[in-house]
Amino acid sequence: MDKYEALSFCGIYCGSCRNFKKNMGCAGCRGEAVLVDDCPTKACAVARGLLHCGLCGDFPCKMLADFYHDGKPSHRAALDAMERIVQIGPEAWLAEQEG
């Protein structure tokens, strides 16, 4: 088990999704081979060798800004989460989410 499997590249907490390892068996964006392979955020972060987008010198890039401000509450929450991840680190953030 990857200790970061519930941490998406954009800041969404995969562990809160009803499809994460349950209904649809989604393994999250780090381990999923089908459901999220077309995610441009994932492709960009992987190409840059980043654990998450908050580590990128271009954060938040236009692609993420558009995503965070597309009107979906979960996407807006991902921006707040990513800012928190940058502030306290991914391990502490995951502990907050799981606790």
Kindly list the domain boundaries of the chain, sorted by start residue. Answer: 14-98
Omega before 90 within 30 of 0, i.e. cis: no
pLDDT on residue 38: 74
| Dist CA 99 CA 76 (whole Å) | 22
Residue 13: both structure tokens together: 């907490």
Structural contact between residues 45 and 56, judged by C-beta atoms closer than 8 angstroms: yes
Chain segment 21-78, per-residue pLDDT in tens? 676 677 888 877 666 667 888 889 999 999 999 999 999 999 999 999 999 998 999 9
The DSSP H or E segment spanning 39 is none
